[in-house]
Structure 1
Amino acid sequence: MGKMTVYHGGYTIVKNPKILKGKNTKDFGHGFYCTIIREQAERWAKRYDRPVVSVYTVRMNTGLNILEFREMTNAWLDFIIDCRNGTIHDYDIVIGAMANDQIYNYIADYIDGVITRDQFWSLAKFKYPTHQINFCSTEALKCLDFASAEEVS
């Protein structure tokens, strides 16, 4: 598999990524989140006082347990719901679209029974493309080579 460039938006330069296990659950569970869309990483970074985008070269290890959602499907939705509810998975890397805040509100409404699955899909239209790669294991982090970082405005 060839090389690709990914970006991580945060508040500091991250030369040595780690698996983060925060109190808040995320779309694809615990891990180190990146994207192939630089503008998205900049949006992530701009939530902080010192927005920084770290850049990595990635060569995927095809021997790892990788789950990729090429489209927003029922399987994608169910996986996000499980992860956001604290279910642990055994994937090394998970790739797919991101459930941004607006989409997650629709997911919450679906979980609470306020809307149906069909209504969720009618509402779940992104205004711009999203993408995330979650490096979920120590072995997955070995696929990342730090290239550079810069503060963004």
Structure 2
Amino acid sequence: MRVYHGSSLHIDEIDLSKGRWGRDFGRGFYVTNIRSQAEVWAARKGQEAGTSGVVTEYDFMEYAYEDDQLKVLRFDSYNEDWFDFIILNRSAPRNQVHDYDIVEGPVADDQISTRIFLYQSGILTKQEFLDELRFKKPTHQMCFCSVLSLQMLVPVDTKFDAEIMLISDSLIAQLIKKEQWSDMKAVNFFYSSYLYSLLINPSTEYYKKTIDDLYELLLREL
């Protein structure tokens, strides 16, 4: 999955110590799969620093969801569990109150933050807060909280990315031809495969293998 980080400068190396306490999902490195959202973050950070802001792109290795070494928490919507977790983190401005490696879910933007303040002040009940979120436009964020979790983020290199696209197209074409799959089935299988996660990670050097060798590895996943 392609994800984006908006900042005042291009991120060459992720430093978790620069993360701020008391954020939605705690201290960590934040990204989103919504580019327009990252562009807003970049513009805001750039304005604060006197720059135009930069969006840095990464590929997130989705097999992280199944990795036994990683503790992952996911919220699929604005719900009570998400709300309680946000409050928990925002109430601890100098401590990490959870031990998750990766946390994913909606964003508590400026408008929501105002409503959280009203809740904490006793002006708004939890149910009133949640009722107002039913029609909220979808947002997305992921927080990488540990050094181990950062291994699931691979910086996007434009030249490398183009090469991977050519390899991917070739492997998908073979699935369609040899396995007689539909275009949709071949595409969905390939991009959710473990092989693809290895292929887009330059350090594995899987992109140097022949198409035949890669296809054989792909078939083993079947």
TM-score class, shorter: 0.7 to 0.9
The 8 Å contact of residues 79 and 130 in structure 2, kept in 1 or not, is answered as no
Displacement of 1:126 after TM fit? 5.9
For residue 8 of structure 1, the aligned residue among 2, 5, 9 is 5
Secondary structure of 2:137 counterpart = coil
Equivalence for 2:33: 36
- Unaligned 5+ segments in structure 1 are none
CA distance in 1, matches of 2:14, 2:140: 19
Q: Say whether 1:107 aligns with 2:111.
A: no
Equivalence for 2:150: 141
- TM-score, normalised to structure 1, is 0.88
Q: Say whether 1:21 aligns with 2:19.
A: yes
The 8 Å contact of residues 16 and 146 in structure 1, kept in 2 or not, is answered as no
- Unaligned 5+ segments in structure 2 are 159-222
**Given residue 42 of structure 2, which amino acid in structure 1 is its aligned partner?**
A
The 8 Å contact of residues 24 and 90 in structure 2, kept in 1 or not, is answered as yes
CA distance in 2, matches of 1:21, 1:43: 18
The 8 Å contact of residues 30 and 144 in structure 2, kept in 1 or not, is answered as yes
CA distance in 1, matches of 2:140, 2:157: 20
Secondary structure of 1:124 counterpart = helix
For residue 139 of structure 2, the aligned residue among 130, 135, 147 is 130
Aligned residues: 145
The alignment-based identity, stated in percent, is 41
Displacement of 1:21 after TM fit? 3.3
**Given residue 73 of structure 1, which amino acid in structure 2 is its aligned partner?**
N
CA distance in 1, matches of 2:135, 2:141: 14
The 8 Å contact of residues 106 and 123 in structure 1, kept in 2 or not, is answered as no
Q: Say whether 1:119 aligns with 2:138.
A: no
CA distance in 2, matches of 1:138, 1:73: 29
CA distance in 2, matches of 1:28, 1:40: 17
The structure with more radius of gyration: 2
Q: Kindly report the root-mean-square deviation, in angstroms, between the aligned alpha carbons of the 2 structures.
A: 1.7
The 8 Å contact of residues 18 and 141 in structure 1, kept in 2 or not, is answered as no
Equivalence for 1:69: 75
The 8 Å contact of residues 19 and 29 in structure 2, kept in 1 or not, is answered as no
**Given residue 112 of structure 1, which amino acid in structure 2 is its aligned partner?**
S
Task: Indicate the structure whose relative CO is greater, using CA pairs within 8 Å and at least 6 residues apart.
Answer: 1
Displacement of 1:70 after TM fit? 0.8
Higher strand share: 1
Equivalence for 1:84: 90
Displacement of 1:127 after TM fit? 5.1
The 8 Å contact of residues 26 and 84 in structure 1, kept in 2 or not, is answered as yes
Displacement of 1:129 after TM fit? 2.0
CA distance in 2, matches of 1:126, 1:81: 21
- TM-score, normalised to structure 2, is 0.62
